[in-house]
Amino acid sequence: MVVRRAGDGTISDAIPAGFNARTRVHEYGGGAYTVRDGVLIFANFSDTRLYRVEGDGEPYPITPEGALRYADVIFDPDRARLIAVREDHSGEGEAVNTIVALDPDGDESGGMVLASGADFYSNPRLSPDSRRLSWLQWNHPNMPWDGSELWVGEIGEDGTLISSELIAGGTQESIFQPEWALDGTLYFVSDRTGWWNLYRRSGDADEAVAPMEAEFGLPQWVFGMATYAFLDAQTILATYTQEGIWHLAIIDTASGELTPIETPFTEIDEPFAAGGSAVVVAGSPTLPTAVVRYDAASGTFETVKRSLDVEIDRGYLSIPEPVEFPTENGLTAHAFLYRPANQDFAAPEGELPPLLVQSHGGPTGATSTALSLPIQFWTSRGFAVLDVNYGGSTGYGRPYRQRLNDGWGIVDVDDHVNGARYLIDQGLVDPERTAIRGWSASGYTTLATLAFRDLFRAGASHFGISDLETMTTDTHKFESRYLDGLIGPYPDRKDIYMERSPIHHLEGFTEPLILFQGSEDTVVPPDQAEKMYEAMAARRLPVALVVFDGEGHGFRRAENIRRALEGELDFYGQVFGFMPHGDIEPVTIANLPR
């Protein structure tokens, strides 16, 4: 749903019920709508068409029915048209991605192609004088955070690109968020030094802007991602992360000086600015993620809309502590530790808490320090939680991100094991009550750790990947070559895929396992969880399987989300020997008498 906020603060729906502003370009979408002078253009999820709506009027489609998808749409007002990334699924084989121009009143042609030939495109952006168009592109087998290119094209009288030039990037350099300043200078983020830093094009050379050992970029899983915006012609509002914590700052474009802004937030994302003010998406361990308005003149923050309206007493909240711990090859890995926290209860004297080790999905990504109710669910019930930014995570520079190259299923597994061992050696957790949990990619790490290592006493996999081959043979274009870098080219190195797939090494599972699965999951087919359950049950090992009808890769219904959390808690209660508080429906664990 797209909503709008009037000058008096009133919030209302901008599109009527029955429409869903969500695009399926690259499958993960993003960049699903744009607004100018009261005209809203949005991509509708169900039919993949672009729609136009003005004021309180009814939306009407402006692109044809069929196999075309659109994202990252911008207005080209001087030519009375739109420019967008288009993904064409009408042919055989892979979808074809291009940048196209469209008539905003209706374009049955599907668009005039402006740029083509690369496997992927994103971020089409017009210069202030509308004479130049910049964009990002990249090709298989790279993901955009591996290597991408920044191009600029000159627009001719007929609206086509009459020339184009490669500005920055390549197969070993990742470019993120190109933007034009009001004076016509092109800015962008590059990781050429090992850190995603801000640059600008000056003549035929690139000039670093406020260089530092920090990340001003993100893994571009979706369209429309941003870490900086122009407050005015001389001032940039920028977000950056160091040691897993996000910060906000002002950058003077003339001097390049960066001035940090004190905020109550540890997670800050997606800045958009105009006229000396900006909005960001921000949160902290005690503040739920919210849309926040920043006024540069007064330096104040105003919460526009919170993702959670419930207020939680600080006495029930665990605050994450950054942890560095030694891992393989003499390296250091990172995580956040959440200690048990509940003002109404205390553990018996001398008793150490059980430990849950988890991590983010992706696998290219990072954990968030914003208020996480699932994590607080566990810490308020006496668990310690270690949220791991294993080697391969973002936020710690390109070399840290590249640790996972050829190493998925090894580096991440080692870091989860070593993180748990570190806490055990510090005397912070009970070594006999350790569990590992995860979902999707981190669900794969959970299953791989249980199959190939002997440390954790239980595990929980929520729609976790157990067969790596399916990620190459039955997936979409955007991720179809993702594992080339993480594991090896397929099918040439099929042996590695077999070697690291937990489903082919069920003999390695010796500890209790619970599996949560959606019946309609097309990323991880349900039969993977079913085969694992049947194999473990046949070997007389404790195992449980909970299938949610109608759910896909991730659970969306509130009752299913609650059931998954409470079912996992009951599972730990059974295998670790405690009775969870409250009226919880028990799960049935094969081969484990209740």
410 and 450 assigned to the same domain: no
Residue 7 lies in a domain: no
Residue 289 lies in a domain: yes
* pLDDT value at residue 133: 98
Residues 451, 500: Cα–Cα separation, whole Å: 9
* pLDDT value at residue 582: 83
Residues 384, 191: Cα–Cα separation, whole Å: 35
Residue 35 lies in a domain: no
Residues 446, 390: Cα–Cα separation, whole Å: 13
Eight-class DSSP state of 213: S
Residue 297 lies in a domain: yes
CATH code where residue 417 lies: 3.40.50.1820
332 and 419 assigned to the same domain: yes
- The sign of the CA dihedral 90, 95, 98, 99 is positive
Q: Is 458 exposed, middle or buried (0-12, 13-18, 19+ CB in 10 A)?
A: buried
On whether the CB atoms of residues 409 and 313 are closer than 8 A, the answer is: no
Residue 234 lies in a domain: yes
- Cα atoms in the Cβ-side hemisphere of radius 13 Å centred on 527: 1
On whether the CB atoms of residues 542 and 512 are closer than 8 A, the answer is: yes
DSSP, residue by residue, 246-277: EEEEEEETTT--EEEE--S-SEEEEEEEETTE
Which tokens go with 310? 């419930």
Residues 521, 446: Cα–Cα separation, whole Å: 19
* pLDDT value at residue 505: 94
Pick from 29, 27, 135: which is nearest to 74 by CA?
135
Taking the CA atoms of residue 484, residue 490, residue 495 and residue 496 in that order, the dihedral angle to the nearest 10 degrees is: 10
259, 288, 311 - which closes a domain: 311
378 and 442 assigned to the same domain: no
378 and 462 assigned to the same domain: no
461 and 398 assigned to the same domain: no
Residues 165, 428: Cα–Cα separation, whole Å: 56
By three-state DSSP, how is residue 208 classified?
Answer: strand
Identify the domain containing residue 401 by its residue range.
315-431
448 and 554 assigned to the same domain: yes
269, 286, 311 - which closes a domain: 311
Which tokens go with 172? 């070993």
Residues 153, 162: Cα–Cα separation, whole Å: 7
Which residue's structure tokens are 């210069």?
127
247 and 367 assigned to the same domain: no
Which residue type is seen at 337?
L
* pLDDT value at residue 7: 82
Q: Is 312 exposed, middle or buried (0-12, 13-18, 19+ CB in 10 A)?
A: middle
Pairing of strands 355-359, 434-439: parallel
Which tokens go with 554? 């991730």
326 and 423 assigned to the same domain: yes
**Cross-strand partners of 33:** 42
297 and 408 assigned to the same domain: no
- The sign of the CA dihedral 24, 30, 36, 40 is positive
Residue 145 Cα distances to 102, 172, 219, 228, angstroms: 29, 9, 6, 18
592 and 444 assigned to the same domain: yes
Residue 212 lies in a domain: no
319 and 294 assigned to the same domain: no
Residue 348 lies in a domain: yes
* pTM for the model: 0.95
Residues 115, 103: Cα–Cα separation, whole Å: 17
Residues 481, 88: Cα–Cα separation, whole Å: 19
Tell me which H or E stretch contains 560: helix 558-576
On whether the CB atoms of residues 15 and 41 are closer than 8 A, the answer is: no
- pLDDT for 477-496, tens place per residue? 999 999 999 999 999 999 99
* pLDDT value at residue 594: 62
Which residue's structure tokens are 């361990």?
285
Which tokens go with 82? 């739109």
325 and 382 assigned to the same domain: yes
Residues in the chain, pLDDT under 50: none
311, 335, 352 - which closes a domain: 311
* pLDDT value at residue 491: 94
Which residue type is seen at 414?
D
- Number of compact structural domains in the chain: 3
Residue 479 lies in a domain: no
Which tokens go with 80? 């009375």
Which tokens go with 368? 């968030």
